[in-house]
């Protein structure tokens, strides 16, 4: 895990790095992305330095997703959008560049029809027996929940 003293998001939360804060809760802060992909691209950041969603407590997750629920409509409206892409890169292998949990909120409009998550990846044709194997593996780990 990265040293929190070297984390850009921790420094933003401490107020040591200037940001354009748009919302704050007990467990999260929302800012405009300094390197936006589209106008209004915002980040919702956990105030606790944890890399992945499963590293956060259920109280923190509830707070963050309540803030996400609140912010999404406001950001869409402010940017004259009708939709948004919500993205979480959950770990380095998933493309997470800063190992501190955060959610991207990227407003979209009708002209952004190519933003489907499926357009970001090369689609793989996976045989049904392989899909069944994945289903069994995941179901085995979730059935006791």
Tell me, yes or no, if 102 is annotated catalytic: yes
Instruction: List the catalytic residue out of 49, 102, 104, 118.
Output: 102
Could you tell me which of 59, 57, 64, 62 has the C-alpha nearest to residue 102? Answer: 64
Kindly write down the DSSP assignment for every residue of the chain, as one continuous string: ---GGG-HHHHHHHTSS---EEEE-SSEEEEE-SS-SSTT-EEEEESS--SSGGGS-HHHHHHHHHHHHHHHHHHHHHTT-SEEEEE---SGGGT-SSSS-EEEEEEE-GGGGGG-GGGGS------HHHHHHHHHHHHHHHTT-
Q: Could you list the active site residues?
A: 102
């Amino acid at each position: 895990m990265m040293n929190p003293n070297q984390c850009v998001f921790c420094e933003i939360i401490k107020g040591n790095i200037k940001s354009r804060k748009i919302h704050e809760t007990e467990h999260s802060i929302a800012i405009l992305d300094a390197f936006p992909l589209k106008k209004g691209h915002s980040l919702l950041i956990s105030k606790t330095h944890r890399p992945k969603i499963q590293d956060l407590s259920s109280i923190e997750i509830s707070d963050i997703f309540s803030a996400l629920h609140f912010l999404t409509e406001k950001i869409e409206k402010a940017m004259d959008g009708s939709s948004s892409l919500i993205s979480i890169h959950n770990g380095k292998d998933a493309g997470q560049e800063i190992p501190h949990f955060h959610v991207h909120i990227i407003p979209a409009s009708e002209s952004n029809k190519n933003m489907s998550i499926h357009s970001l990846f090369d689609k793989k044709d996976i045989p049904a027996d392989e899909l069944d194997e994945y289903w069994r593996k995941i179901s085995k780990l979730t059935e006791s929940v």
